Amino acid sequence: DTEVTQTPKHLVMGMTNKKSLKCEQHMGHRAMYWYKQKAKKPPELMFVYSYEKLSINESVPSRFSPECPNSSLLNLHLHALQPEDSALYLCASSQQTGSNQPQHFGDGTRLSIL
């Protein structure tokens, strides 16, 4: 079992809906990440939080809004998504940001936009 827990596992939403993805880790990690992964492609970095502060936003559209309520939790709020946003959304964590810091991934939320 993965130590990074993501909910829900699957989500189907319309383009006008508002939903949230949740991620939780209890490893004491201070860096948390959101990635987007399309089929047969590598993960693409979206956001990085370091010590609960947003440190990297990879030019992600504003219809994706991250939130880090505390050091164990990471949310991704979704609003007015497009069909091309359908993908696997992965959360990851590491002790800190920087090289030599293994990232531990959750199993993702499979998102489908109707």
Partner 1 sequence: QQQVKQSPQSLIVQKGGISIINCAYENTAFDYFPWYQQFPGKGPALLIAIRPDVSEKKEGRFTISFNKSAKQFSLHIMDSQPGDSATYFCAASFSARQLTFGSGTQLTVLP
**Minimum separation from the CB atom of position 17 to partner 1 (A):** 24
Interface residues with partner 1 (CB under 8 A) are 2, 4, 33, 40-43, 45, 48, 56, 90, 92, 97-100, 102-108
**Minimum separation from the CB atom of position 41 to partner 1 (A):** 7
Nearest to partner 1 of 17, 75 (CB atom)? 75
The phi-psi region of residue 59 (left if phi > 0; otherwise alpha if psi is between -120 and 50; otherwise beta) is left
What one-character DSSP code corresponds to residue 99?
Answer: T
Q: Which two tokens stand for residue 60?
A: 């992600």
Nearest to partner 1 of 16, 39 (CB atom)? 39
**Minimum separation from the CB atom of position 16 to partner 1 (A):** 28
Nearest to partner 1 of 34, 64 (CB atom)? 34
Q: Is the dihedral of CA 39, 103, 110, 78 positive or negative?
A: negative
Within a 10 A sphere around the Cβ of 4, how many other Cβ atoms?
23
Distance CA 84, CA 20 (A): 18
